Amino acid sequence: MDRIHITGGAPLNGTIPISGAKNAALPLMIASLMTGETLELINVPRLADITSLLRILGNHGVDQMVVGKRPGQSTEAGQTIRLTASNVIDTTAPYELVSTMRAGFWVVAPLLARFGEAKVSLPGGCAIGTRPVDLLIMALEKLGAEIEIDAGYVVAKTKNGLRGAEIDFPKVTVGGTHVALMAASLAYGTTVIDNAAREPEVVDLAECLIRMGARIEGAGTSRIVIEGVARLHGARHEVLPDRIETGTYAMAVAMTGGDIVLENTRADLLSSALDVLATTGAEVTQVKGGIRVRRNGGGIHPADITTDPFPGFPTDLQAQFMALMTLAKGQSNIRETIFENRFMHVQELARLGAKIRLDGDLAIVEGVERLKGAPVMATDLRASVSLVIAGLAAEGETQISRVYHLDRGFESLEAKLARCGADIRRVRS
């Protein structure tokens, strides 16, 4: 099993190109099932989750063309993927494929909307909470689907097509909004989604569906209206920048010191997180085509956060922010409201010398003067990278095992950091 070795203490200086967003690319790829024509996606990151989803789509019969790196292009440049679902041969998504990633379950929506049936295994993914699919199923049932659970599979059918409906989510759900958007785009009549997720990745999916011929208004607000159409066509769409990767590297330089320009990204995608970061003593400024983050000499100031759906502080940056706060001059309070098990990185940060106390959904972080390198183990995707950030600032060597989690969500992590002065390397098993 691969490990990452880090010798901490070096500031980060230089530029880091931000990849396309994994959380946007996955639903966009799934949307290819909604048409028999080709969907071309640009700026797709090279990640394990992307590869896993390509296997799921291939199982359904989706033709795939992954455009290779062009001459003079760095390995960190996003790839182009062309997907054509003109000959779908199977509407079943088996357990052995869907169990590796939660987003694989979302194929239920386009399969049901276009073919009237789908049999999809209940999902897997990071062990950060139950993350039930009940709201996704509720949305499909509102649209007229007949659904039953059979031996770990969701079996969905519709005799005469899906019908527009009012879907009022009792709580904000990104996955539920993705599923409702795709299913409603091919339903008969008008669908209204209330309490819809407002995340940029939802907007990106809506914009792609509109390019494919869908009629959608209100994406990015809590109320989305969809007028169903009979069919969708092919399109060309560029995946938006990864706001979680952007925030991760911004917090890394805030913790280690230095001066980094994050290229090919947008501040509006994570303004709440950048606003909090600025209160910790980091200087955050917008530059042409990206964001500049620097911290020179001054200490890290404590700050309190509560994770919330967009535009609030992202749960996917909570672990990284906690790593930063371990070296703050004072106490910080971090409340996690999205996932009930997303504090599993606490015990690993403690191995580096962090002082963190848990009280239900609240983590109370007492800043320490220094962290010391130690062997640690990744527990999920975002927890993994929080250990990388802490290791970059710790004295001595940190060894991180189970780094396959990192490969699911961070493209060329070691190369991007090493180019900016980090002493980081991967040791292959």
Percent of the chain that is helix, strand, coil (3-state, to 5): 35, 30, 40
Q: Are 234 and 214 in contact (CB under 8 A)?
A: no
316 is in an annotated binding site: yes
338 is in an annotated binding site: yes
Ordered DSSP codes for 105-126: GGGHHHHHHHHSEEEEEPP---
16 is in an annotated binding site: no
Return phi, psi of residue 295, to 5°: -145, 120
For residue 365, give both structure tokens. 């972080």
131 is in an annotated binding site: yes
Q: CB neighbours of 393 closer than 8 A, spacing ≥ 6?
A: 8, 9, 255, 256, 327, 371
132 is in an annotated binding site: yes
As a whole number of angstroms, the distance between CA 168 and CA 391 comes to 44
User: Of 4, 25, 120, 126, which residue is the catalytic one?
Assistant: 126
For residue 5, give both structure tokens. 């070795």
- H or E stretch covering 338: none
23 is in an annotated binding site: yes
Alpha carbon 374 to its chain centroid, in Å, reads 28
241 is in an annotated binding site: no
43 is in an annotated binding site: no
**Catalytic residue status for 126:** yes
For residue 121, give both structure tokens. 């295994």
Any idea which residues carry the catalytic annotation? 126
Binding residues: 22-23, 102, 131-135, 316, 338
Binding residues for phosphoenolpyruvate: 22-23
Binding residues for UDP-N-acetyl-alpha-D-glucosamine: 102, 131-135, 316, 338
